[in-house]
A and B are shown apart, each in its own frame.
Chain A
């Protein structure tokens, strides 16, 4: 009986780790694509109009910051599941 309980405990720990890993991995997909789009289009804009590079760069960092937030929340969930 105690053996079984211990086994269930390890299984729960294992599932937690799997969930945390999957959670972070899934949370990173969208922002990865998103940041790629933001930076790619910013580079296109800078190449077309080098004189507006300053404005584009500022807006690009803003876009990255908003997009990246989702991945970072995924990372925080990972930390919480694994260590809290």
Chain B
């Protein structure tokens, strides 16, 4: 590839996203950085909640406050707003999704790790497939297969002449586009954030030289710090959006429009 900025070495994208194996190299359970981050994203919420419940008190403090306020957050902002009180049985599923995605994202800004595991397509795709299976299963279970299909594909109040067109659009958007956009949204947001941070880190190190450029060397560094704060927000927001969309899909399957 042509380098537009001479003297600036921008690492090829494979170097940023592909990691060699670290543990159990060469065997079938080989783990690289991405795999280890997923293990951490699985273990960290577990540890958090076990710690919170072991020293549980009526008036929460320390770890318990964090755990309880996060449960409260998901209940008030995700479940109650989208499904309603009968959505409380999906609470464990939504909490697991939220925490897994958040802890896999937040490694993007943790020093020395600095890689969001969700910027590889694998986990977002698997999560989207799980969500697809869950909301379809909920719909089939609560309405019956044909009723669910009819309610999904044929929205109420559509004039007869438009019905074939609307039915095709609804079918494609519900069963094909939903899981795809769910996975791509998470993946592309994290990949974009990672590339943004890398770009400004590379610029910072490249411009860190004495000379006439010294007047502006701090500019990319300041932007980098600002973007790091922004990426913390994005890591949280993407976990929240993935969870709330899952809740919306489950709610739609549970309560069809009339």
- The answer to whether A58 and B77 touch across the interface, beta carbons within 8 angstroms, is yes
Evaluate whether A58 and B82 lie within 8 angstroms (CB atoms) in the complex, with A65-B241, A65-B245, A79-B13 already known: yes
- Name B's interface SS: helix
A30–B192 Cα distance when bound, in Å, is: 18
A5–B1 Cα distance when bound, in Å, is: 17
- The answer to whether A72 and B189 touch across the interface, beta carbons within 8 angstroms, is yes
Size bin of chain A's contact surface: 10 to 19
- Name A's interface SS: helix
- The answer to whether B241 and A61 touch across the interface, beta carbons within 8 angstroms, is yes
Residues of A within 8 A of B237 (CB): 61
Evaluate whether A75 and B241 lie within 8 angstroms (CB atoms) in the complex, with A55-B81, A58-B81 already known: no
A72–B181 Cα distance when bound, in Å, is: 9
- The answer to whether B184 and A76 touch across the interface, beta carbons within 8 angstroms, is yes
Shortest Cβ gap from A84 to chain B (Å): 9
Query: Which of A54, A61, A76, A82 touches B244 (beta carbons < 8 Å)?
Result: A61
Give a binary string over B101-130; 1 marks a CB under 8 Å from any A CB, 0 the rest: 000000000000000000000000000000
- The answer to whether B192 and A62 touch across the interface, beta carbons within 8 angstroms, is no
A55–B81 Cα distance when bound, in Å, is: 7
Give chain A interface residues in 31-84, CB to chain B under 8 Å. 54-55, 58, 61-62, 64-65, 68-69, 72-73, 75-76, 79, 82-83
Give a binary string over B155-195; 1 marks a CB under 8 Å from any A CB, 0 the rest: 00000000000000000000000000100110111011000
Residues of B within 8 A of A58 (CB): 77, 81-82, 244
B240 within 8 A of A: yes
Give chain B interface residues in 201-258, CB to chain A under 8 Å. 237, 240-241, 244-245, 248
Residues of B within 8 A of A75 (CB): 188, 191-192
Residues of B within 8 A of A13 (CB): 1-2
Give a binary string over A14-35; 1 marks a CB under 8 Å from any B CB, 0 the rest: 0000000000000000000000
Residues of A within 8 A of B184 (CB): 69, 72-73, 76
Evaluate whether A76 and B188 lie within 8 angstroms (CB atoms) in the complex, with A58-B77, A58-B81, A58-B82 already known: yes
Shortest Cβ gap from A36 to chain B (Å): 17
Shortest Cβ gap from A62 to chain B (Å): 7
Residues of A within 8 A of B76 (CB): 54
**Shortest Cβ-Cβ A-B pairs, 4 listed:** A72-B188, A58-B81, A69-B181, A65-B241
Binding site for B on A (CB under 8 A): 13, 54-55, 58, 61-62, 64-65, 68-69, 72-73, 75-76, 79, 82-83
